[in-house]
Amino acid sequence: MTSLPDLAVRAARANFNRALAEAKLDAIGPLLAPDAILITGTDSAILTGRKAQLLAWKREFSAPAKTLYARIPETITVSPVEPIALEVGHWHAVAEATGEPVASGRYTAKWRTFGTQWRIEAEIYVTLA
């Protein structure tokens, strides 16, 4: 059975994917905790903080050959004792111009509620293809 917090995290992830697809930095920002951490899939670069992630996405969105990214959650585990959740899933990237696959893999994301808003605190990506 899917819980309301589970659905809220899935909705937040869908909003994040939509913001990536539409290259909307102003929609990504509110979904990230101020000190959010992202570890990239290929070179394990660490992006610390909302500002660092938004700068990285800004560069990505202005690249001449755009890549479209999506994260597809498989499981959401909501803590019964803390306002946190763990998302596990797979991700993929395709070239916007051709739709050809660029890369794909697995990820985990830790979410936390800030008031009533679920925000990403940490994400770890692994490139598998």
Report the predicted TM-score, pTM, of the whole model to 2 decimal places: 0.93
Q: 93 - beta bridge partners?
A: 69, 103
Domains of the chain: 4-127 (3.10.450.50)
By CB atoms closer than 10 A (0-12, 13-18, 19+), residue 91 is buried
- pLDDT (tens digit per residue) in 74-86: 999 999 999 999 9
Q: What is the number of H-type helices and E-type strands within the chain? A: 3, 6
Tens of pLDDT, residue by residue over 84-113, are: 999 999 999 999 999 999 999 999 999 999
- Give pLDDT, residue 65: 93
d(CA 66, CA 60): 7
CB of 50 closer than 8 Å to CB of 29: yes
pLDDT tens for each residue of 18-76 = 999 999 999 999 999 999 999 999 999 999 999 999 999 999 999 999 999 999 999 99
